[in-house]
Structure 1
Amino acid sequence: MPKVYTIGIRQVPKIRCDRVLNIGITVDRRAPERRPFQLKTVTRTLQKVLKHVVIIYQDDFYKPDDQIPVDPTTQLANWDCPEALDFDRLRQTIQYTRQNHGRLPPEYSSTEVRNTHDGSSSVSDATLQGLRAMFHARHDDIFVLVDGFILYHDPSVAAEFDSKLFFIASYATLKQRRESRKGYTTADGYWVDPPEYFDKIVWPECVRWNKRFLDNTQTDHDALVIDTDKHTIVQAVEATAQKVLDSLAEP
């Protein structure tokens, strides 16, 4: 009987399964400037490799614009704190997908799925073929990939994941990536970062909420931390695939 495994992404056929493996994939602090590493490179590559894949994007779970907290120091809207996100709805979406064998809730509509600048084209066909061979015995199973930036902050959401991955990236890389985007579609409109928004809001929040993953002495989070300063994109994808397979071997 096919099984369902959740990893952190979107879309899947109606296949009956008796187990869901939730795998969260998130990114933070120390990626090298010389490689255009993106979180979506990993998730979209897995989407090409796995036969049945669902992707859920945390960015689709922001609260309405008028409910985004205002930073008391800068008086700027803070889109990078946990309070800006609807974790209850995210948890319910993950649970629904598990209980319904890889089918997303009918009301779930993603804006992130239309973002095609994901870097997955940099992964060669030979690498994709090798990854498909790794999952050959799992071709009937369903994988749900959950892609986000503070996935593990809320305990009720973190508890949904059978496997967790965390990519660390440098200040310079994250700043360049953030400032290269023109803006973001929000629940009620469009947001453009004000000047110095990365240094005043994004980076401090990034460090604040992901500190335990960045401290090498803390191992209570159960996440595989992949340092992209030390790994190529291909190595990061292969490490992710192995982490998924290791999770499948667990009872």
Structure 2
Amino acid sequence: MTSRDMRLGSPTATSGRSRRSWVASSRSARASTPRSPAIRNIVPPRCAPTSAKTSNSRKITPMSETPTASEGDQERRVDDLAAARREIPRPLAGSGGLISSINVSHPGGVPKRPIDRTVITTRGLIGDGQRTKAPVHGGPEKAVCLFGVEQIARVNADGHHLYPGAIGENLTVSGLDLGGLREGDRLRIGPAESGPIIQLSEPAAPCKNIAGSFEDWRIARVSHKVRPEDSRWYARVLREGPVVTGDRIELLGAADTIGQ
């Protein structure tokens, strides 16, 4: 027996103890030794349990599960925005204003330049042209385009740069709330006996051709879906006739009352 065996207490150093009993007693001693609580409770940081609900907890949705708005959803949001705006007072039949400016351009395009007088026909104003043909611009359903002086003032208050004819309207009117008009409304211009009668056909959708008049090209400022009170209107011509700057323009009513 070596001195090392005596120090370690091996089976050869213990008289009458077998190797098996020595191993068994060693295991029993290790099992009876209490583990330090600090060691027993150590959990790797990445595996540490977390409470299901904490005051600052927040559900994180994977990018693959994040819903995206479809084109239909975006259109509905625009429609909801328009519906949420204040109701625009509707002008009464018999109310009206004045033709502040008559605007034409040949062969077409914007801006349109003011003239003193012309004739309104079913194909548009004499002296006016359209670079883009119907149905985009012009044609019987878009023979005349109207916009208001009051609308121009509101749009310019938002930092834009409009003036009569800048965004392509043929008739710039004052004193008549175009924002309160509806498709099918009829307007008479000038004398009751001979003046032209037009009927609103649809709002004029803004296009890139007029973008230069808007700060940061924000043409949606005159979109009927976004700002119906400041949209331009297209009109068909029910009765042809002359128009002079300063003529009265009067709301007659909807299409179902014509002739009454």
Bigger RCO (CA 8 Å, 6+ sep): 1
- TM-score norm. by structure 2 comes to 0.20
**Higher helix proportion (structure 1 or 2):** 1
Higher-Rg member (1/2)? 2
